[in-house]
């Protein structure tokens, strides 16, 4: 007996996805070309060297997003197949969608879009914002709803990044503002508009088991290991990249110890909470403290007062540390202007901000610091508004939001051959539907 949420148009997901893929193939066939081939031998060697410098980093990021983030999300014990698949589907859909939009927006030379690994990487970063945002509504949304979020968020992200980095000239190499802050508040906006001010009780299938916690911890550790690649890939090759790697390694190592300290101090009996570890290890030392404190005090407060649903705690994980990082960047710019000469600073900056620095460099460090703050405000405001609108769109009945009772269960989206191995809390969605019918 199959479970089908009421009024669910079974064919909407495959048909819209198939249409999207078809249009995309047409777009690629008509407009996309490779970069020009290198004609001479020395050029070929240069191309090969550039490839070897970026491809391992690119693969590291693929491992992070597909395997690491996927496993991290399997803390829901009966929803593992679904989160792995939805995460994978969203990553691929959003990357392709961002590739098309980028091509249309930025790279129309001579009627052709040129494609290389850097374009793919930029598109993958757009997809990262979607993966972060949907963390707020994980487990209670249908694949159709998730694809609508991706469809709306990718263009908004591209516009917001253009406004913040290109127009305002904000220095944001690690994506603190444009990725982490933006995606957090977009996700919270979606959650608010979608679920409104309803107070959910704890779902019986929401409680992690030791085994799902273990898988989730393995995912966290994979993310932790490859984090330096994520930061380095956006820097200029050479010294800037070397420093970014060293800084990230040290910050992460410090955050690991700080997380243990903070988590252990907050518990009455000094025990650790697996949730703290899973969520905090990836950000720096001070961020770790902010993050743990946020999980302990802010999340319950938000849930109680604002009735805001944030399944994966993206506010503590991306929002607060992102705001902290943006504030720190403003302070660092003011401090750097006092004790550092112009030429030294320029070594550590990325390519995209080079022009911006020249523009703002004359009006002084104060102007640049103001810019950082303005960029933060644009990211928070823009993402909240568009997130709320997207969340409102998700309430369309044709998007088949699953009823709360059937949420968080793989059997809603997968043919489960055998239920014997999953003797977790509660019964399966299928069984519940059968039981409901028998009562009637």
Residue among 23, 25, 335, 436 that touches a second copy (CB under 8 A): 25
Question: 278 or 383, CB closer to a second copy?
Answer: 278
Q: Are 98 and 27 in contact (CB under 8 A)?
A: no
CA angle in degrees (0–180, nearest 5) for 102-321-276: 115
d(CA 383, CA 47): 38
Mapped onto helix, strand or coil, the DSSP state of residue 21 is: helix
Question: 95 or 386, CB closer to a second copy?
Answer: 95
Count the residues of the shown chain that bind a second copy, applying the rule CB under 8 A: 122
**53 binds a second copy, rule: CB under 8 A:** yes
- Taking contact as CB under 8 A, which single stretch among the options 64-72, 131-139, 157-165, 377-385 is the one that binds a second copy? 64-72
**423 binds a second copy, rule: CB under 8 A:** yes
Beta bridge partners of 34: 115
d(CA 50, CA 44): 10
CA angle in degrees (0–180, nearest 5) for 353-98-91: 110
Alpha-helical (H) ranges within 134-197 are 143-161, 182-195
Residue identified by tokens 């060297």 is: 49
**404 binds a second copy, rule: CB under 8 A:** no
* Residues 6+ positions from 8 with CB-CB distance below 8 Å: 142, 400
**67 binds a second copy, rule: CB under 8 A:** yes
Q: CB of residue 335 vs a second copy: minimum separation in angstroms?
A: 13
Residue identified by tokens 């949304």 is: 141
**338 binds a second copy, rule: CB under 8 A:** no
**421 binds a second copy, rule: CB under 8 A:** yes
Residue among 107, 243, 296, 349 that touches a second copy (CB under 8 A): 243
Show the binding pattern over residues 72-111: x = contacts a second copy (CB under 8 A), - = does not.
--x--xx-xx--xx--xx--xx-xx---------------
Residue among 122, 159, 163, 245 that touches a second copy (CB under 8 A): 245
Q: Which of residues 348-387 bind a second copy (CB under 8 A)?
A: none
Residue among 33, 340, 344, 351 that touches a second copy (CB under 8 A): 344
Residue among 6, 7, 52, 338 that touches a second copy (CB under 8 A): 52
**218 binds a second copy, rule: CB under 8 A:** yes
d(CA 310, CA 302): 9
d(CA 378, CA 370): 12
Residue among 26, 30, 55, 396 that touches a second copy (CB under 8 A): 55
Closest to 220 in 3D by CA, of 142, 278, 305: 278
Mapped onto helix, strand or coil, the DSSP state of residue 186 is: helix
Read off φ and ψ for residue 403, nearest 5 degrees. -65, 145
Residue among 26, 104, 105, 116 that touches a second copy (CB under 8 A): 116
Residue among 386, 410, 429, 433 that touches a second copy (CB under 8 A): 410
Question: 212 or 311, CB closer to a second copy?
Answer: 212
Question: 62 or 166, CB closer to a second copy?
Answer: 62
**431 binds a second copy, rule: CB under 8 A:** no
**2 binds a second copy, rule: CB under 8 A:** yes
- Element (DSSP H or E) covering residue 5: none
d(CA 386, CA 261): 38
Read off φ and ψ for residue 350, nearest 5 degrees. -80, 180
Closest to 140 in 3D by CA, of 90, 191, 89, 94: 191
Q: CB of residue 307 vs a second copy: minimum separation in angstroms?
A: 23
């Amino acid at each position: 007996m199959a479970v089908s949420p009421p009024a669910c148009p079974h064919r909407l997901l495959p048909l819209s996805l198939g249409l999207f893929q078809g249009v995309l193939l047409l777009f690629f066939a008509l407009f996309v070309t490779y970069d020009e081939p290198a004609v001479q031998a020395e050029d070929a060697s240069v191309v090969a060297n550039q490839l070897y410098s970026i491809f391992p980093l690119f693969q590291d990021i693929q491992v992070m997003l597909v395997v690491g983030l996927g496993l991290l999300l399997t803390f829901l014990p009966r929803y593992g197949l679904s989160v792995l698949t939805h995460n994978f589907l969203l990553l691929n859909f959003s990357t392709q969608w961002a590739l098309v939009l980028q091509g249309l927006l930025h790279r129309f030379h001579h009627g052709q879009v040129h494609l290389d690994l850097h374009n793919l990487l930029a598109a993958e970063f757009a997809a990262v914002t979607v993966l972060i945002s949907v963390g707020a509504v994980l487990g209670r949304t249908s694949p159709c709803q998730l694809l609508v979020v991706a469809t709306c968020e990718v263009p908004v992200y591209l516009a917001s990044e253009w406004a913040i980095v290109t127009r305002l000239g904000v220095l944001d190499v690690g994506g603190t503002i444009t990725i982490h802050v933006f995606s957090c508040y977009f996700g919270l906006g979606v959650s608010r508009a979608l679920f409104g001010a309803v107070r959910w009780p704890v779902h019986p299938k929401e409680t992690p088991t030791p085994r799902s916690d273990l898988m989730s911890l393995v995912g966290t550790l994979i993310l932790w290991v490859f984090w330096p690649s994520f930061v380095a890939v956006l820097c200029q090759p050479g010294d800037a990249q070397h420093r970014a790697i060293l800084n990230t390694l040290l910050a992460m190592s410090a955050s690991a110890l700080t997380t243990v300290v903070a988590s252990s101090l907050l518990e009455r009996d000094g025990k650790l909470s697996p949730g703290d570890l899973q969520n905090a290890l990836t950000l720096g030392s001070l961020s770790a403290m902010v993050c743990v404190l946020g999980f302990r005090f802010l999340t319950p407060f938000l849930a109680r007062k604002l009735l805001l649903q944030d399944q994966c705690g993206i506010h503590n994980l991306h929002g607060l540390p992102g705001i902290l990082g943006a504030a720190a960047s403003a302070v660092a710019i003011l401090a750097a202007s006092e004790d550092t000469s112009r030429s030294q600073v320029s070594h550590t900056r990325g390519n995209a901000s080079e022009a911006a620095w020249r523009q703002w460099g004359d009006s002084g460090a104060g102007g640049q610091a103001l810019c950082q703050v303005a960029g933060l405000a644009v990211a928070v405001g823009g993402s909240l508004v568009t997130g709320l609108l997207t969340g409102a769109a998700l309430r369309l009945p044709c998007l088949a939001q699953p009823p709360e009772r059937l949420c968080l269960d793989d059997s809603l989206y997968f043919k489960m051959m055998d239920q014997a191995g999953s003797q977790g809390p509660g019964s399966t969605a299928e069984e519940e539907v059968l039981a409901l019918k028998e009562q009637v």
